[in-house]
Chains A and B, each alone.
Chain A
Amino acid sequence: MKRYLLMLVGLGVLFGLGGAVWASKPGVLTIWADDTRAPILAELGERFSAEYGIPVEVHELPFGDIRDRLVIAAPAGEGPDIIIGPHDWIGELIADGLLEPIPFLEEKKDQFVPVSIEAFTWGEKIYGLPYLTEAIGIIYNKDLVPQPPRTYTELIAIASALTDPEAGRYGFLTHVPQPDPYHSFPFLTAFGGYIFGLDEEGVLDPCDIGLDSEGAIMGAHLILELITSGLVPAGTDYGVMTGLFNEGVVGMILTGPWAVADIRAAGIPYGIAVLPTVAGRPMRPFLGVHGFMVSAFSANKALAMFFLEEFIATRDTMLALYEADPRNPAFLPALEVVSAEPDVAAWAANAALGIPMPAIPEMAAVWAAWGDAIKLIVTQEMAPEDALRAAADHIRELIGCK
């Protein structure tokens, strides 16, 4: 008897699993968010429910799972109404037919940091309501570097004076050689290098690849010089870089706001500086923008749009989101309120230099080939020009642009 019962329970569980648990239901707003945003959204959702009598369900998923599950759950009718994620997801999600454009943003564009709207624009439509921007900059230890460098020459001078590997002290560390293409981007842009060019309509052209442009090659030489001059050991990875910085033996590091929480916890007197200029031109980082997106398979599109327009795109909500996760607001009225804080001002200055990370699905090919090129450059297996040309050719072939 027990056996049958167990079997029945098993069958029941199996059938039960088929049923949607987190699905978009008419009349209930379902939101998928990661652990940094789910708690505050649940709180905001309750406020919305109290005002309009519409239940809001917030489900917490690991950051990467939000996209990975959406692509499977949404077409099966089990996806959410709204997701929160970075703008570089949109290329793939739109190609998959999973995102709904957000028309009201056309009229409210000027309330957001302009480049954040640009990041969520695809074709002629806007597919996400931006709420935070992030870009990398120079984080420095005020004890070791009283005055942050304005130019790259100054940075190298400060770094050379401080660096003493025997004593375990470093002036400037970056995990670019790891390889980390994302963090190497400012070096490439300093001389006008780029990843994808724009076509006549102002849309990214996946066949105009600038990884082997003159500027990108000159930038790669800068990276190589960091290694050959002994300033940055080739084995520096993110863990080593932040670990040493938090021990107080590193003058400057090149990274983003995500490192700050640990630095604060370690009690390092840190400051954030704008990326230095190289021969008068700025080093421009990648800009990441996070925002709210509406699923094309939502059963509550109009309600979701209303929620975003009337409830999320407001100063109070944006400030509450900032309190929960202090990264720079993309909503100008909220940004103005917090811009007196030195960190916010410094990150905003870096973000203002930023170029939105390309959102096209072809970036997967770029990251891989670009990373390989950096590795070959820093291990001095290949000269920067050869490595980058090979990488660019390889990307063209992968994307099918030959």
Chain B
Amino acid sequence: MPAPTCIVMIARLGKIIVLGTTDAIGVWAAVGLFSSRSWAPLTCLLAGLGVLNFVLLSKRAYPLRYILPGLIPFALMVAYPIIYNMSIAFTNYGTGNRLTKDQVIAHFENMYYLPEGSERFAYQAFRDADGNLALLLVSKDGGELYLALDEVLRPVDAGDPRFVYEGEEIVRIDGYHQLSRREVVRLLGKLQGVSLRRGEDTIRLVSLNEFAVYRRSYRYDQERDVLVDLRTGVEYTPVQGTFTSSTGETLQPGFVAWVGFQNFYDIITNPRVTGPFFRVFRWTFLWALLSVVLTFALGLGLAILLNDPYLELRHVYRTILILPYAIPGFISIMVWAGLLNVDFGVVNRILRSLVGVTIPWFHDGFWARVGVLLVNLWLGYPYMMIVSLGALQSIPQELYEAARVDGANRWQRFWKITLPLLLISVAPLLVGSFAFNFNNFNVIYLLTGGGPPIPGAQTLAGQTDILISYTYKLAFGGAGAQYGFASAISLIIFLIIGTISALNFRFTRRLEQMSGGL
């Protein structure tokens, strides 16, 4: 059969061409990365190319062709962020410690200062046909002339034979011609890096119009790993990512440093973190549990009503009831914040005109908790309703008929048949919903911001703060952003949720076994 063979040939040829081109581009890029000493990207590139070739060329790796397209996004989107987050937890990364040590050293080594009464120079720039620069400097103090053809500044005489004058102005020096202001501006990038030597002095560009004598502020001693302040002679040694003198003076900026378990130690020993921890944990647990129970109860109740074949217009009801799910949560939450406003909200206005009382939503700890639970109920019940509607269909009608024959009433049928059979398929979703609400940052942060505050308690934690919103406040509510600290707490939260979820799943499995015997 010639036709399929031909297709196979073409396909194989195409594969070789594409792979060959990719490899060629890869090798070309690798050479570039090698010469620029970018080791991390180079390693990634070579590893990527290696895997690609192995997968496409090896017969043994055939199954990988189907798995790899899934594994790559998994590694990039799921595994990498988690590993990165975990590694950050062991560093001091955050405000004041964002740069690498090399960058910080470069920062200090590139610091110059203008000493008191520093000598300043006006300058003219010249260029020859090959693009080489010459700088002619005139001291503003004494009017001495200096010429720099390389990095060394040499005194010259105004009557030097190399100078070609046009009136008062020197327009050419040897083969060099004077540059216009516009040309000088375009050369600023080059000029800013020029560092001229005159004996002990370093002369650098200060502004478009001036050079001046500069002194270096710091020198880094690589062997002893100390930074020396050249003005005072004070030595700074790196301590947990910050250059610190023997008297405790520190230099900004610091760098990202590995601090081991310091962040975890800080969390455990800091009373301001641990003090409200259990209070917050208790509410987080209650919040997640109540959110699941309430949304499930309402969702299931509505699902059972909608499942009744005698209900007229049930498609219309179903559509209306799913609506909260269709509106972006962000918007719903903001709208609810307005509806529950103590003085101007619609809810309190109605209450006032009907029963003459108003509820201090968000001003009182208890009512704030009721408020966030109510809003979360609004946001969450449609999901539970949809899930239950589906699960209800899978319960065989014969069971109900048999129960009816046996004389079971509606209530008994619900508790003995509907709920146990429903839970088999819905329970894992409830566990998932619990874990989701445990970390439901949006609702808490947008609705109450964790508030109202606890009277007299000196803590960032408010009455409705859950662990994740509390973490956010701890990490970003002190001095700038402390990512290392935040990552450490989020690792701890991860362990808590992991444990709870594992216990939940075990419970669920037992549920399945129980109903299996039904």
Interface residues of A (CB under 8 A from B): 1, 3-8, 10-11, 14-15, 18, 26-27, 51-54, 71, 75, 92, 94-98, 103-104, 233-237, 239-240, 296, 299-303, 305-306, 309-310, 360-362, 364-365, 367-369, 372-373, 375-376, 379, 381-382, 386-387, 390, 393-394, 397-399
Contacts and interface: CB of A to CB of B under 8 A. Distances in A.
Given A1-B15, A27-B189, A309-B207, A376 B56 contact: no
Contact of A301 (B15, B95, B192): B192
B103 A75 contact: yes
A104 to B, nearest CB: 5
A229 B104 CA distance: 56
A97 B459 CA distance: 31
Interface in B306-357: 338, 341-345
B188 A303 contact: yes
B452 A26 contact: no
A75 B100 contact: yes
Contacts, number: 160
Name the 10 nearest CB pairs between A and B, nearest first.
A97-B253, A235-B343, A233-B343, A302-B192, A372-B453, A235-B342, A361-B480, A394-B458, A302-B188, A95-B96
B479 A375 contact: no
A210 B473 CA distance: 23
A180 B517 CA distance: 60
A95 B452 contact: no
Contacts of A240: 341, 344
B473 A379 contact: no
B479 A310 contact: no
A296 B107 contact: yes
Contact of B186 (A1, A27, A361, A372): A27
A234 B456 contact: no
B477 interface: yes
User: What's the interface size class on B, roughly?
Assistant: 35 or more
Interface string B472-503: 01001111100000000000000000000000
A111 B451 CA distance: 45
5 contacts: A1-B14, A95-B96, A233-B344, A372-B453, A394-B458
A382 B452 CA distance: 12
B480 A92 contact: yes
Contact of B363 (A54, A103, A234, A237): A234
Nearest to A6: B69
B206 interface: yes
Contacts of A5: 18
Given A365-B477, A381-B455, A386-B456, A96 B95 contact: yes
A364 B477 CA distance: 5
Nearest to A304: B188
B396 interface: no
A239 B455 CA distance: 27
Q: Which of B205, B476, B480 neighbours the largest number of chain A CB atoms within 10 Å of its CB?
A: B480
A171 to B, nearest CB: 15
A95 B252 contact: yes
A387 B48 CA distance: 59
Given A103-B207, A236-B343, A372 B477 contact: no
Nearest to B456: A390
Contact of B208 (A1, A15, A299, A306): A306
A368 B341 contact: no
B182 interface: yes
A255 B207 CA distance: 41
Interface of B: 11, 14-15, 18, 22, 29, 41, 45, 48, 52, 56, 65, 68-69, 72, 76, 95-96, 98-100, 103-104, 107, 182, 185-186, 188-189, 191-192, 205-208, 252-253, 272, 338, 341-345, 360, 363-364, 451-453, 455-456, 458-460, 462, 473, 476-480
Contacts of A299: 189
A384 B383 CA distance: 45
Nearest to B206: A103
B98 to A, nearest CB: 5
A8 B20 CA distance: 12
A390 B189 CA distance: 53
A235 B363 CA distance: 9
B453 A302 contact: no
A136 B508 CA distance: 58
Contacts of A11: 22, 48, 52
Contacts of A300: 188-189, 192
Contact of A97 (B103, B182, B473, B477): B103
B480 A95 contact: yes
B252 A364 contact: no
A6 B76 CA distance: 17
A367 B477 CA distance: 8
B105 to A, nearest CB: 11
A53 B11 contact: no
Contacts of B455: 376, 381-382, 387
Nearest to A310: B208
Given A302-B191, A361-B96, A393-B458, A1 B207 contact: no
Contact of A379 (B182, B252, B452): B452
A233 B191 CA distance: 62
Contacts of A296: 107
Contact of B252 (A3, A94, A303, A387): A94
Contacts of A367: 477
Contacts of A306: 185, 188, 207-208
A63 to B, nearest CB: 17
Contacts of A376: 452-453, 455
Contacts of A361: 95-96, 479-480
A364 B207 contact: no
Contacts of A96: 95-96, 98-99, 253
B78 to A, nearest CB: 15
Given A53-B182, A75-B98, A301-B192, A368 B477 contact: yes
A387 B456 CA distance: 7
Given A27-B186, A364-B478, A97 B99 contact: yes
Contacts of A15: 29, 45
A382 to B, nearest CB: 5
Contact of B99 (A75, A233, A386): A75
A345 to B, nearest CB: 34
B69 A7 contact: yes
Contacts of A234: 342-343, 363
A52 B186 contact: yes
Nearest to B342: A235
Contacts of A303: 185, 188-189, 192
A71 B98 contact: yes
Given A300-B192, A309-B208, 20 more contacts: A4-B15, A5-B18, A10-B69, A75-B99, A95-B480, A96-B253, A97-B99, A97-B253, A104-B207, A235-B342, A235-B344, A236-B344, A240-B344, A299-B189, A310-B208, A372-B462, A373-B453, A379-B364, A382-B456, A399-B479
Contacts of A94: 252-253
A237 B337 CA distance: 11
A375 B451 contact: yes
Contact of A235 (B65, B206, B252, B341): B341
A300 B205 CA distance: 13
Nearest to A240: B344
A349 B416 CA distance: 76
A185 B192 CA distance: 44
B193 to A, nearest CB: 9
A311 B68 CA distance: 54
Contacts of B460: 368-369, 398
A54 to B, nearest CB: 6
A303 to B, nearest CB: 4
B100 A18 contact: no
B124 to A, nearest CB: 17
A35 to B, nearest CB: 20
Contacts of B182: 51-53
Contacts of B364: 379
Contacts of B100: 75
A51 B15 CA distance: 53
